A and B are shown apart, each in its own frame.
Chain A
Amino acid sequence: TAGITQAPTSQILAAGRSMTLRCTQDMRHNAMYWYRQDLGLGLRLIHYSNTAGTTGKGEVPDGYSVSRANTDDFPLTLASAVPSQTSVYFCASSDSSGGANTQYFGPGTRLTVL
């Protein structure tokens, strides 16, 4: 199975431009998450969705928006990119928001904003 896929793998973006990072999972997990990973700071939660049709803000949501129109897809949009959004972005999913169910991560998108 594919698990979680992310696109693009990497991208260089001019400041002020918009971009959507794509995330698709084929495991029918109800919960999905977006993180950014920066050197020395670890993974930080941007937005999450516990089920299709609902979203919530994480630790660092400013400058980002998400939507969850269906179970499989959870796109992350940067409306007007800034250099501080240069990071590696990971999408993750879990089949329940509780219990021992773990989060499984996609391969990541490396974004550079110039």
Chain B
Amino acid sequence: GQNIDQPTEMTATEGAIVQINCTYQTSGFNGLFWYQQHAGEAPTFLSYNVLDGLEEKGRFSSFLSRSKGYSYLLLKELQMKDSASYLCAVRDRDYKLSFGAGTTVTVRA
């Protein structure tokens, strides 16, 4: 099974940088995903890591360390529209996803 931990809430100022950490314990690791979910909407895919290191995609980057069971999502140049919940999800060897409870990010002007 999976045990996935991420902070419940974070607040940051427009234009700033925020780092959302995710730690996991898994019986079989097969990839880590980050999703964004605005209130009342469906989750949408942000990033995928299966090997150690940093994946950069525009203002968003995601890092993975498999030996430490650790990932982070880095949001740069924060915009008001980035206010949302960010979900960390771990895929197991049966290709099923287990999700953390999500981190609600509030961007202040």
Please list the residues of chain A having a beta carbon within 8 angstroms of any beta carbon in chain B: 31, 33, 35, 40-45, 48, 50, 58-59, 90, 97-98, 100, 102-108
Contacts and interface: CB of A to CB of B under 8 A. Distances in A.
Contacts of B100: 42
22 contacts: A33-B97, A40-B101, A42-B87, A42-B99, A43-B87, A43-B99, A44-B99, A45-B96, A45-B97, A50-B95, A90-B43, A97-B95, A98-B95, A100-B50, A102-B33, A102-B48, A103-B45, A104-B45, A105-B42, A105-B43, A105-B44, A107-B41
Contacts of B7: none
Given A31-B95, A33-B96, A98-B30, 12 more contacts: A41-B101, A42-B99, A42-B100, A43-B87, A48-B96, A59-B98, A90-B42, A98-B95, A102-B48, A103-B33, A104-B45, A105-B44
A106 B101 contact: no
Provide the main secondary structure of the chain B interface: loop
Contacts, number: 47
Contact of B42 (A58, A102, A106): A106
Chain B interface size, under 10 / 10 to 19 / 20 to 34 / 35 or more: 20 to 34
Contacts of A107: 41-42
Contacts of A90: 42-43
Interface string B64-95: 00000000000000000000000101000001
Contacts of A104: 45
A104 B31 CA distance: 16
Given A90-B43, A107-B41, A100 B31 contact: yes
